[in-house]
Structure 1
């Protein structure tokens, strides 16, 4: 983008058309853009009763000069995350916090009373102007939606480009570094060289304390506002939209005089708009908004799947015979729900509240260590029935693996064959390896144990998306890592997006599973497995 001179700026030499001035109005939420645009145009051209979602253009004639005014949607001011102070456990800190809250509450009440009193003095048009921040001390900060367009698109409505870019700032709203960055980013989106065509317009000046001039307000507000004014070449104007119908209203002519001075300083040039670049930037902006909305929707769906408070997690314990699945279930639930030390014959479901979550666990009979064929059909069906007990499906298939056992290629293929043939190809998305007997590691980190375990153990973890955890199941309810385990499960659920759990299959509910005869069972070496 570049600034260029145009013959139309000085008007047609034959006098057929009055010279034109094009004004682009930008500002944050409730900054008074729409009211100011109407004041300049001298009529209620733009609707002040609804939120501005698309740029609008209006024209008028001032002292024989055609003036084009473009009103734009508010630019988005990012929300500042609330900082929650750490609790120190000291009574003095709590008292100070309470005193601060009381003080803030009183100040807020005083501000509300002041606003109520001031609101009675403003005209109805300003009271209804959702974009007039001069009438609100607590502006809402709307987030971008797919129904709205970016403010920069308004520059296309005043071709070939605006002579002046008016940045509106309400004196009733705080102007911090957050607002400053929003203004800077907006002008940067238009292109380089925009500041020389920019002017700050202060709205709501009737709300200033009696005897306080706008210069004093600029000095007292802070460095962010001072930076903005200086960046605009110290060009600014104070606007009172409540005076637009009075006979002595000279603020519009004074504003246009300042615009003319700026145009003279720019040697009659205007800011040339590159429509192609603006359209590309608008497409990129909308793509980002769509992605943000999609992620928010996925987060909402995940929250619904996990459940409301308390959150719900459904776990299915799987693994070989004798690996400590029942002990693991007891450790997670915090008490002895499952009988450990003896072979599990039938699935058993138990539930408890753990770390603010409702945890449902199903313990299952163990598989054969070396062969799917040698795992009895009844045991395989029982594993599927265990998953069916976790309606609408388990969030996590917890594959229990003792840290004291070595993993050979045949053992790994057998484990994967059990998981894939019983629960389908998508089971890997929901499988996590849980290393039991974690006390055997001593001071050895689990990562070091994995490296020592060799390639077969690493391939197993790769099948599970490298989701794993180590647990000491000797002392139920005393292992602090249980909460960390649940956090990892929720992380896996978030990664799975709209596939937060493994859906129950109809065949799992039937008495007869897919293993109708021994001849259809997979081979020991799992030649048909696609995860070699």
Structure 2
């Protein structure tokens, strides 16, 4: 975005229209944006006391100039567990009881940057509203910086900090003292705005002794003079693209939160534990799949797994326990060494009283022949019994190889053997894309949802019970530091 000279600054050549000044008001939740807009306009043009969801525009005339004021929704301030400890001790004006609750996002609301479109061709001044009664730490500073960055480059030369709630400052405390005492984050913001700031007491009524609006407009004129009469030109196309991207992220975030709420209502109490056993022939990427599900590198990928390894993490509101196992031979059960077969059974024993899901990993880049399918099923039934099919799900790894091809289309092309394998698993399958972290995170949550669906479908037999013959020497060779008895403590699915 570029700043260009405003042709309207000198007004209409014929004198029929006064020159215009355009002010865009931005700020965080409950900062006092709407009240400040009403103070500038000299009337209750906007409804104060409620959260603004869409930008609104109002106009008035001040000292022969037409002033356009745009009020905007609050910018997002992400939650931070360490936020309460940053900068509060050094502030003499912040009361924790005045810290506003975070607004509940809604898809009906729009981003604050969209307000710039309502003052075409662009604002002369961007007022960044900061309440002196709220903490202003590093997280608030980043939120302000991100918001200005969303508008485009060059915004800071048109920005001014507008402090609100100055009537709440201790008697005799000037705004300069508040800036000095609040901390580096606020000082950075003021300095980034070229040390331009103003203070409002929005409780003051209009009167001859109320000079705060005229003084603000004098500072606005000084800024316009310093900027040689230029304004910040708005690129509507970029703003619309940014808004579209913001709404897409918000939709995804709300979808994830709704899933979490539904799980919490269904489960209740402590996080539910899901116990998963990774199975498959050599080199299919079981360890990588385990790392993707847990969201960290707990299993050593890229080398052959020799012993079972059990790891656990909190994933999408569930406590997920995964056991990685050595790979089988793809040609026949007999060619899989006996110790490998025993290790697979001991892996299940590490998930006592039993794994909820046997995750059969199958790369999408591999073709499934009749021998491979028969060998897979022979391993499953020989090691875990004929009831294993009720708890087995096919996990297609290397999903990024599909590109834009849906997994269902890949299955249709996979041929009869792949269809028969899925029929054995009750048509439970999933695909993971390890190349896209955002997409993969959503996919992991969907995978856990499918596992819970399988559990509900299995009714009384929620998991595959561990057999006594699997328990021999189960912990002597397995690479794990905890006793199997402790692995499922607190599980809500037993």
Q: Same fold (TM over 0.5)?
A: yes
CA–CA distance in 1 between the matches of 2:84 and 2:160? 38
SS at match of 1:243: coil
| Selected match of 2:225 from 252, 261, 264 | 264
Q: CA deviation at 1:209?
A: 1.4
SS at match of 2:130: strand
Residues 374-389 of structure 1 aligned to structure 2 (within 5 Å): none
SS at match of 1:270: strand
Deviations 1:17-54 (A, max 9, x none): 10000000001111111110000000000001321111
Deviations 1:36-92 (A, max 9, x none): 00000000000013211111000011111110000001111111125999xxxxxxx
What does residue 24 of structure 2 align with?
A: 24
Residues 87-126 of structure 1 aligned to structure 2 (within 5 Å): none
CA–CA distance in 1 between the matches of 2:168 and 2:268? 45
CA–CA distance in 2 between the matches of 1:269 and 1:466? 54
Residues 359-374 of structure 1 aligned to structure 2 (within 5 Å): none
Deviations 1:481-518 (A, max 9, x none): xxxxxxxxxx9887433552316669999xxxxxxxxx
CA–CA distance in 1 between the matches of 2:58 and 2:386? 69
| Selected match of 1:242 from 193, 197, 203 | 203
| Selected match of 2:103 from 136, 139, 142 | 142
Q: Is 1:78 the counterpart of 2:97 in the alignment? A: no
SS at match of 1:497: helix
Larger displacement relative to structure 2 (137-146 or 418-427):
418-427
Q: CA deviation at 1:189?
A: 0.3
CA–CA distance in 2 between the matches of 1:268 and 1:492? 53
CA–CA distance in 2 between the matches of 1:159 and 1:18? 16
Residues 332-347 of structure 1 aligned to structure 2 (within 5 Å): none
What does residue 454 of structure 2 align with?
A: 502
Residues 116-515 of structure 1 aligned to structure 2 (within 5 Å): 137-304=98-265, 307-311=267-271, 395-397=356-358, 412-416=376-380, 427-429=392-394, 495-502=447-454
What does residue 62 of structure 1 align with?
A: 62
CA–CA distance in 2 between the matches of 1:203 and 1:146? 28
SS at match of 2:98: coil
Deviations 1:206-226 (A, max 9, x none): 111111111111111111111
| Inter-CA distance 211–4: structure 2 relative to 1 (3 Å threshold) | same
Q: CA deviation at 1:299?
A: 2.6
| Inter-CA distance 183–314: structure 2 relative to 1 (3 Å threshold) | closer
The answer as to whether partners of 1:370 and 1:411 remain within 8 angstroms in 2 is yes
CA–CA distance in 1 between the matches of 2:8 and 2:146? 30
| Inter-CA distance 290–218: structure 2 relative to 1 (3 Å threshold) | same
Deviations 1:149-202 (A, max 9, x none): 111000000000000000111111121111111111000000000000001111
The answer as to whether partners of 1:19 and 1:65 remain within 8 angstroms in 2 is yes
| Inter-CA distance 466–57: structure 2 relative to 1 (3 Å threshold) | closer
| Inter-CA distance 211–426: structure 2 relative to 1 (3 Å threshold) | same
| Inter-CA distance 302–265: structure 2 relative to 1 (3 Å threshold) | same
What does residue 308 of structure 2 align with?
A: none
CA–CA distance in 2 between the matches of 1:177 and 1:313? 36
| Inter-CA distance 71–428: structure 2 relative to 1 (3 Å threshold) | same
Paired positions, count: 336
| Inter-CA distance 24–464: structure 2 relative to 1 (3 Å threshold) | closer
Q: CA deviation at 1:243?
A: 1.2
SS at match of 1:4: strand
What do you get for the CA RMSD once the two structures are aligned? Answer: 4.3
What does residue 344 of structure 2 align with?
A: none
Deviations 1:131-160 (A, max 9, x none): xxxxx6221122532121111000000000
- Normalising by structure 2, we get a TM-score of 0.59
| Inter-CA distance 161–179: structure 2 relative to 1 (3 Å threshold) | same
The answer as to whether partners of 2:395 and 2:431 remain within 8 angstroms in 1 is no
Structure 1 stretches lacking a partner, 5+ long: 86-103, 113-135, 320-355, 360-368, 372-389, 400-407, 432-462, 468-490, 510-532
Q: Is 1:12 the counterpart of 2:7 in the alignment? A: no
Structure 2 stretches lacking a partner, 5+ long: 280-317, 322-331, 335-352, 361-370, 397-427, 433-442, 462-494
- Normalising by structure 1, we get a TM-score of 0.55
CA–CA distance in 2 between the matches of 1:465 and 1:11? 64
Larger displacement relative to structure 2 (202-211 or 238-247):
238-247
Q: CA deviation at 1:301?
A: 3.4
The answer as to whether partners of 1:59 and 1:67 remain within 8 angstroms in 2 is yes
Q: CA deviation at 1:244?
A: 3.1
| Inter-CA distance 13–290: structure 2 relative to 1 (3 Å threshold) | same
